[in-house]
Structure 1
Amino acid sequence: MSETPTAEPVLPPAPGAADYVALDFVNSAIALPGGQFIDLLGTPASTNQWLAERGLAPPDAGVQEMCATQLRSLREHVRALFAARVAGLPALPAALSAVNDALTRAPTAALLYWDEKTGPYRAAPCPVNEVLDHALAALAADTADLLTGPDAERLTGCGSTPCNRYLLRHGRRHWCSTRCGDRARAARAYARRAR
């Protein structure tokens, strides 16, 4: 499989990705026809861009390869949890541990600060070295919200081979994009003609 290090969108966001960044996160590794593969977190620069576009890191965060690797690892664990949920199977303990570990990386309450001119205010601590922890915690929290919330029943995998993206089903739609829907319909029509 070839890996393209670009962060350019190849497909529109899957249904539900606007509501759950966790869907967008698992769908950042895209399998395309012809054995092509695009990883939007494939390089530190593309990872930094992906995080910044979603408000999870400042544009100049300077993500390093170690951080990108941790994000890709969490993505695979979240993908495993989504696959287990869709298939109605028990979750892998390692995937649960990875998400729970990410959930505990960042404080949940905004701390109290004091500005000499304006007085007290609350804000989440986020020095540059904690950007990754906050991004991991936010992605894990969104994953937990999706898997435990009312939309969990709508979570499904794209029904078009070889697509590996997840979406929230609306009605009978089982495709992440028009492109995948067209490919699935064409495959069904070809199978009918071949019979």
Structure 2
Amino acid sequence: MSEPLTAASAPPPAPGGEEYLALDFVNSAVALPGGHFIDFLGTPEATNRWLTEHGLAPADAGVQEMCATQLRSLREHIRALFAARVTGLPPLPAALSAVNDALGRAPTAALLYWDEKNGPYRTAPCPTDEILDRALATLAANTADLLTGPDADRLTSCDSTPCNRYLLRHGRRHWCSTRCGDRARAARAYARRTQPKAD
């Protein structure tokens, strides 16, 4: 079930999302109580808005469904890598390949072209392709930085069901937001009250 994108229904950024764009990226699909779901990359327009808000595309980039699909696919591969890191299990080879492929997409230099009239010249590739490639490469590089950097040991998943977000743990905190922490504490309190008393 999908819920309209509203500030009231979306949780605040998870701890670490300000430091690591990749963390905010994987958390752009949020499972909420009651079977509700918010996907900030659910449509081309929403994807363009998310990219613009994160400095990865101009507001008039005109993101198409194909681009949004590529970004959603990379998000799922990064989620798989985060899950592997958190659980200590080996990563899926497809997830590693997807991140490495995205890393290689960033144009490092203007390409060489040849004009019949004026001869050789250099220019960047098609701007729309370049925007997507740079966004994918930036997100992949930030993922690699997080997974190989000093904060990797702090990466964890939110401990509140049904939340599917990741965060950087601070102290003993295992929740992505106060809302999730309150929900987890309430669930524990309810479980204690409803457990049969031992004789």
Give the 5 Å matches for 1:67-146.
Answer: 67-107=67-107, 109=108, 127-146=127-146
Aligned to 2:165: 165
Letter in 1 for 2:3: T
SS at match of 1:171: coil
Partner of 1:34: 34
Structure 1 CA distance for aligned equivalents of residues 100 and 128 of structure 2: 22
Partner of 2:2, secondary structure, is strand
Per-residue CA deviations over 1:99-155 (Å, capped at 9, x if unaligned) read: 000000013x4669xxxxxxxxxxx87723311000000000000000000000000
User: RMSD in angstroms over aligned alpha carbons?
Assistant: 1.9
Q: Secondary structure at the match of 1:51?
A: helix
- Output aligned runs, 1:7-22, within 5 Å: 8=7, 10-22=10-22
Q: What amino acid sits opposite 1:3 in the alignment?
A: S
**How big is the shift at 1:81?**
0.1
Evaluate the alpha carbon distance shift between residue 27 and residue 16 of structure 1 in structure 2; reply closer, same or farther with a 3 A threshold.
same
Kindly name which structure, 1 or 2, has the bigger radius of gyration based on alpha carbons: 2
- Cross-structure match for 2:179: 179
Query: Aligned equivalents of 2:149 and 2:90: distance in 1?
Result: 17
| Alignment correspondent of 1:3 | 2
Q: Tell me the number of residue pairs that the alignment of Structure 1 and Structure 2 aligns.
A: 183
Identity of aligned residues (%): 79
Range that drifts further, 126-135 or 30-39: 126-135
Matched AA of 2:2: E
Corresponding residue for 2:154? 154
Change in CA separation of 1:77 and 1:7 when aligned onto 2, cut-off 3 Å: farther
TM-fit CA distance, 1:6: 2.8
CA distance in 2, matches of 1:184, 1:169: 16
| Alpha-carbon contact 1:6-1:46 (below 8 Å) kept | no
5+ residue gaps, structure 2, are 112-123
